[in-house]
Amino acid sequence: MRFIDLFAGLGGFHLALRQLGHECVFASEIDGTLSDLYLKNFGIKPEGDI
């Protein structure tokens, strides 16, 4: 299953679904610090505010 991660934060939702074998295709996070951390952890640069 492919999913989107809205209000991504630290990426807990992403981590849980990835461990179940799913693929994140889009992420959104307004906080710049969390967005940078998300990119570092998952290789996906979240878009800004939805």
Whether the per-residue pLDDT at 50 is higher than 90: the answer is no
**What is the total count of domains within the chain?**
1
Q: Which residues contact 42 (CB under 8 A, 6 or more apart)?
A: 11, 14, 18, 24, 27
Note the pLDDT of residue 39.
98
Task: Answer yes or no: is 50 within a domain.
Answer: no
CB-count burial class (<10 Å; 0-12, 13-18, 19+) for 3: middle
Give the domain extent around 19: 2-42
3-45 per-position pLDDT tens digit: 999 999 999 999 999 999 999 999 999 999 999 999 999 999 9
Task: Answer yes or no: is 19 within a domain.
Answer: yes
Note the pLDDT of residue 21.
98
pTM over 0.85, yes/no: yes
